Structures are given as C-alpha cells and as structure tokens.
Amino acid sequence: MNINELFQMQKALDTYIEKEHGLEEADLFQEKTMALLVEVGELANETRCFKFWSKKPASEKTLF
C-alpha cells in the first residue's frame, strides 16, 4: 500500500463520516486538528519515544 492509497481511504472515510453526521458544510479544521493531536499522543504513549529517562520498553508490537 502506498501513501496515495492511504490518502484516498482517509478521504472516503471522512466523506462517509461527514455525510452520516450531516457535517458536509461544516468547517472541521479545528476538530480534525485536535483528533490528529490525540492520535499522535496515543502513538507517543505506545512507543514511549518521549520518555528518554524511562527504562520501561515500548508496548509490544501486535499484528492485526
């Protein structure tokens, strides 16, 4: 899978969500920015990449 496929999949998901919730005309920039920040925070917590002082390893990798 390449980055263009991921962007297409995300666009389709965004369109579906906006249609389901009647948000087609809404400006969702702030909401999407917040969602991105939350996801980046979750990634940081899982990888523990920001805890340079910690000796605890990152969460185990699981394949889905």
- Alpha helices, DSSP H only, in 1-64? 3-20, 29-47
Query: Is the pTM for the entire model greater than 0.75?
Result: no
Residue range 22-31: average pLDDT?
96
Residue 4's pLDDT is: 96
Q: Is the pLDDT of residue 6 over 60?
A: yes
Residue 64's pLDDT is: 58
Report d(CA 63, CA 29) in Å as an integer. 32
Position 51 confidence tier, pLDDT thresholds 50, 70, 90: confident
